[in-house]
Chain A
């Protein structure tokens, strides 16, 4: 069992499961649970096929160093995308990701379409749940395969560890959702996304460099140093963005301030 892989996969997958579960919840409440669950299970089955086929193919035929390079680059791309959004939210330049707002927005859209709560299968409900679960689930599949396969060459159980982490995250989100029975606003999603962004970028950097044959000092322990470097850089960027925002606001206030009588007198020819 690779604990680092399992925990990274757990955190990354939890974010996706929270998003997917919110949509499934909306469809279940506003249309019906049959349509919602059918869409969700169909998407889960599709995902299982993708993981089973791609996972085996990737591990069997791709040289591990080349694969590490590809995985590393993709993880960096994924990680930077998440990190950018999280930093923008922390600095106040982007609204915080609000699951409750998404819930209300989706409910309003469904009502606007004239859909009502009905016991029969509703194609729109099935499609909505399927699409959401498949999209978010693809990201989970991606995380499981990339995180897992990168270590498979050396340890043999990378995918299993990543899959365990993702499965645990899915089970926990479903249990948590069933208990609270409301949009998962209690989960601090931005914090989770920030941590995941840091982890994806750090692992991506580590593996991409290894893919080029680079040997990190302290071996795997250097991942912790990369994490610290990216955390410090992110902290610096959040501080800079906050300072920049305050400066812009101050400038806007100064520009809109009324001209005093003295200044008006001085301005006259």
Chain B
């Protein structure tokens, strides 16, 4: 458990960032494997950029809320 926590703190240390990026990974995996979502494949990169900015905004918003 300690080792997992150390790795988590070393790489990310922020639950919103971790969940957000894993969420992005799942969305992109679905886009690239489910045939009905195949037309969205051309937007993979742009979806990722949008999710990254969204995750950054969300984690900063939580910091702001915490400071209040």
Contact = CB atoms under 8 A, between A and B. Distances in A.
B25 interface: yes
B56 A80 contact: yes
B28 A93 contact: no
Q: What is the interface residue range for chain A against chain B?
A: 20 to 34
A88 B21 contact: no
Contacts, number: 84
Quick one: which of A80, A87, A216, A237 has the most chain B CB within 10 A? A80
Contacts of B67: 93, 248
B60 A80 contact: no
A77 B11 contact: yes
Given A208-B48, A212-B44, A78 B11 contact: yes
Interface in B18-66: 18, 21, 25, 28-29, 31-32, 41-42, 44-45, 48-49, 52-53, 55-57, 59-60, 63-64
A234 B13 CA distance: 20
B32 A205 contact: no
A259 B31 CA distance: 59
Given A84-B14, A206-B45, A241-B60, 18 more contacts: A76-B52, A77-B12, A77-B18, A80-B21, A81-B14, A87-B56, A205-B48, A208-B28, A212-B28, A212-B31, A212-B32, A214-B44, A214-B45, A226-B49, A233-B56, A237-B57, A241-B64, A244-B64
Q: What 7 A-B pairs have minimum CB-CB distances, sorted nearest first? A: A209-B45, A214-B44, A77-B12, A233-B53, A80-B17, A214-B45, A212-B32
